[in-house]
Structure 1
Amino acid sequence: MKRIKISPRSEWQKKVEEVGLIYHTPEGKTYWDESVYYEFTSPEIDLIESATNELQEMCLNAGQQIIDKNRFDELHIPRIVVPLIQRAWDEEPPAIYGRFDLAFDGTNLKLLEYNADTPTALLEASVVQWFWLQELFPTEDQFNSIHEKLLAKWQELKSYLKGDVLYLTSVDDFEDIMTVTYMQDLAEQAGIKTLSLLIDQIGWHPERKCFTDLDEHEIVSIFKLYPWEWLVHEKFGPDLIEVHDKMQWIEPIWKMLWSNKGILPILWELYPNHPYLLEAYFGEPRQMKEYAKKPLLSREGANIEVHTVNGTPLATGGDYGEEGYIFQALAPIPNIEGNYPVLGSWVIDGVSAGMGIRESVQLVTDNLSRFVPHLFRH
């Protein structure tokens, strides 16, 4: 694995906008960064792919453990949604995607967390870096079959979806809207009729007992880029619980098991000293001297404390933590000229599909991190 400096393409802003990336320089800060790229070897890519598939299998076993041993309280999952999760887990409704965040130094690979419910940085990994590769390195390869696998999954779902229209929703945020727009485009390519709307444009019809769009049409199938742990605590949470089983939810509610950092100590318990796992515990760091303290539900690197033998060199702000914490050993994220890369390894329809890389100037990847393209040589 090498980090290589390069001159950005002329008019790169226009080029990435043409393939849908409109938030390349939010508030004047670089997000899409093609002044560098990462180069991998074929064996390194093979390792990342096989590790991703193995981690996916391990998470299936960990999810089964939570359900079989009734460990929902450890993840602070509200009891009222437990029957919905149990039913959805057993019935296996469609689940499209997730993103493992991995630390990788060229040799050692470790799971940091699993963004299994509402992962973003999708368009960048699937489309934008692919066009970058085609223009600059057309004879090289990239670990990236994300677009093809997503399209195939939507094609498979066409006959499965309930109702005539697939609704797609998110909050009014550039990145979320672009992710939803990309998913909507894929669904349309698969022959599915779609309609997108913001989460606060969804209504509840008390007489008909259903969620509705702005024209009061019933919403039956919905792709929601909005976390389940937020949905169930909204004022319409009780209504959602009442009608949940009549609707088609993508991602399904059982993803609450994986998008919660409580999955990390459960994985360590099931697979102690596994080469792809970092030591992790509920409640306390135990014997660990260097570790990260992470809220069960934090997003974008919020409320994380990094503890080293020299003290606490890094603590991020945010609104999480009331739900409890886990303690995870520090990852071997390489420091390359002051940059810390984290691999976002995509899982589409349960299978490893490609990756995107985000770089930070600190150990914690947050929403100011930069997306950097990659390639690999055979």
Structure 2
Amino acid sequence: MKIQNLRKEANWQERLESIGFGYHSIDNVPFWVDDYYYEITNKEADLIYKATNELWEMCLEAVEYVIKHKQYAHFRIPPYMIGHIERSWENDEPSIYGRFDFAYDEEHQELKMLEFNADTPTSLFETGIVQWHWKKHYFPELVDQFNSIHEQLIQSWTTLKPYLKGETLHFSCVKESLEDLTNLEYLRDTAIQAGIQTKLIYIDEIGWADSQFVDLEGEPIQSIFKLYPWEWMVREEFGKNICLDIHQAQWIEPSWKMLLSNKAILPILWELFPNHPHLLAAYFEEPEYLQHFVKKPLLSREGANVEMYYDKEMIYATEGEYGHEGYVYQELATLHREETGFSIIGSWVIGQESCGISFRESDMPITTDKSRFIPHVIKY
């Protein structure tokens, strides 16, 4: 796994914008890296594929364990949501996607799970569409990429279609985020290609009337995909209506995903699968014998409020608004490093199967919302 360079093209922004990628830069600093990329081997791609599938199965076992043994206190979940979570699990409410974040130690060829972005994972459009177009642009000859995201999304929606409630699947996100809207519209487009009737509604446009959620036309919302975190929803004024809804609207992602999107799942996984080769040791309390570790808030997003310790001395920290909900402590991983920065691998599971990867690169060893996206190809 190594970085390869390309000649920087003058019109790279226009090329990306032509396919609907409008947030390629943040404050005029490139978020998308167009002039270098990761080259990985088939062996490395196969390792990621197998690890992702195995960890997904382990995560499902962990959800079953948490629900069976009522371990909700670790997750700081509002008590009124527990019944909803259990029903969504017992009813096998469907999940479309998730993204594992991996650290790759090339020297030891070890792949370690950092966390699982199970509810509202970002960079799906970049991974599934933008880097595929990038590959076709720079490598029109036969070069492969670990990327079947688009096909897998359409197949997943096709499989899900008979089990949707009502005739329309609503899609929702916040108004103010171009990134969220782009990813949401990409997901909605794949659902349309699967033959599903869809409707866009922003989160703040969702109404409540006659004990049910309604859209702007007053029609009941019976199935809805929301690119909006469960932990935000359940703490807002309308959150308790989720359990009062007479239709019991079908939410995608389902509420049982609250357990997997919470960092509390990391110590649970370590308890269930101790010393597993793809897991890092993780605990609810700081263990005395762990010299090098990362302190993570249960609900932090995009690397906020993360503290990194080496020999029990803090060496890096990020700012943010998280931490009041509690922390977990995770063994410090060895990140892949190049001259351009530190990188982690994002590995997508869609329709119960690993189907694509992305790379995020940072100047420091904590990945944040400013971390760069790097495309990749597979070297034969």
TM-score interval, normalised by the smaller of the two chains: over 0.9
Matched, 1:65 2:69: no
CA distance in 2, matches of 1:19, 1:187: 19
CA distance in 2, matches of 1:215, 1:47: 49
Work out whether residues 4 and 37 of structure 1, in 8 Å CA contact, stay in contact via their aligned partners in 2.
yes
- One-letter code of the match for 2:31? Y
Matched, 1:279 2:288: no
CA distance in 2, matches of 1:56, 1:291: 24
Work out whether residues 307 and 313 of structure 1, in 8 Å CA contact, stay in contact via their aligned partners in 2.
yes
Deviates more, 1:109-118 or 1:189-198: 189-198
Q: Residue in 2 aligned with 1:85?
A: 85
Structure 1 counterpart of 2:253, from 251, 254, 258: 251
Partner deviation per Cα, 1:170-189 (whole Å, 9 max, x = no partner): 11211111110101111111
Q: Which runs of 5+ in 1 are unaligned?
A: none
Matched, 1:155 2:158: yes
Please tell me the root mean square deviation across aligned C-alpha atoms, in Å.
1.3
Work out whether residues 285 and 291 of structure 1, in 8 Å CA contact, stay in contact via their aligned partners in 2.
no
CA distance in 1, matches of 2:211, 2:246: 11
CA distance in 1, matches of 2:279, 2:163: 35
Q: Residue in 1 aligned with 2:270?
A: 268
TM-score for both structures, normalised by structure 1: 0.97
Shift of 1:132: 1.0
Deviates more, 1:61-70 or 1:288-297: 61-70
Work out whether residues 336 and 344 of structure 2, in 8 Å CA contact, stay in contact via their aligned partners in 1.
no
Taking a change above 3 Å as real, the CA distance of residues 285 and 16 of structure 1, as seen in their structure-2 partners, is farther
Shift of 1:215: 2.1
Q: Residue in 1 aligned with 2:350?
A: 348
CA distance in 2, matches of 1:333, 1:294: 17
Matches within 5 A, 1:320-359: 320-359=322-361
CA distance in 2, matches of 1:135, 1:277: 37
Q: Residue in 2 aligned with 1:26?
A: 26
- Helix, strand or coil at the partner of 2:208: strand
- Helix, strand or coil at the partner of 2:358: strand
Deviates more, 1:109-118 or 1:338-347: 338-347
CA distance in 2, matches of 1:95, 1:20: 26
- One-letter code of the match for 2:172? T
Shift of 1:69: 1.2
Q: Which runs of 5+ in 2 are unaligned?
A: none
Matches within 5 A, 1:170-319: 170-171=173-174, 172-205=176-209, 208-243=210-245, 246-309=248-311, 311-319=313-321
Taking a change above 3 Å as real, the CA distance of residues 141 and 235 of structure 1, as seen in their structure-2 partners, is same
Deviates more, 1:274-283 or 1:8-17: 8-17
Partner deviation per Cα, 1:154-178 (whole Å, 9 max, x = no partner): 1222222112221111112111111
CA distance in 2, matches of 1:68, 1:219: 30
Partner deviation per Cα, 1:232-283 (whole Å, 9 max, x = no partner): 1110111111117621110000001100001111111111111101110002
- Helix, strand or coil at the partner of 1:159: helix
Structure 1 counterpart of 2:137, from 132, 135, 138: 135
Work out whether residues 103 and 334 of structure 2, in 8 Å CA contact, stay in contact via their aligned partners in 1.
yes
- One-letter code of the match for 1:102? F
Moved over 4 A (4+): none
CA distance in 2, matches of 1:160, 1:18: 35
- Helix, strand or coil at the partner of 1:273: coil
Shift of 1:85: 1.0
* Number of aligned positions between the proteins: 376
CA distance in 1, matches of 2:31, 2:48: 24
CA distance in 1, matches of 2:220, 2:64: 33
Deviates more, 1:114-123 or 1:236-245: 236-245
Work out whether residues 222 and 247 of structure 2, in 8 Å CA contact, stay in contact via their aligned partners in 1.
no
Deviates more, 1:150-159 or 1:289-298: 150-159
- Helix, strand or coil at the partner of 1:101: strand
Work out whether residues 145 and 378 of structure 2, in 8 Å CA contact, stay in contact via their aligned partners in 1.
yes
Q: Residue in 2 aligned with 1:98?
A: 98
Shift of 1:286: 3.4
Work out whether residues 129 and 373 of structure 1, in 8 Å CA contact, stay in contact via their aligned partners in 2.
yes
CA distance in 2, matches of 1:359, 1:136: 21
CA distance in 2, matches of 1:275, 1:255: 24
- One-letter code of the match for 2:148? S
Give the percent of matched residue pairs that are identical in Structure 1 and Structure 2: 48
Work out whether residues 80 and 240 of structure 2, in 8 Å CA contact, stay in contact via their aligned partners in 1.
no
Partner deviation per Cα, 1:15-47 (whole Å, 9 max, x = no partner): 222222110012212111112100001111000
Q: Residue in 2 aligned with 1:7?
A: 7
Shift of 1:11: 2.0
- One-letter code of the match for 1:259? S
CA distance in 2, matches of 1:236, 1:293: 32
Work out whether residues 295 and 308 of structure 2, in 8 Å CA contact, stay in contact via their aligned partners in 1.
yes
- One-letter code of the match for 1:115? N
CA distance in 2, matches of 1:127, 1:153: 17
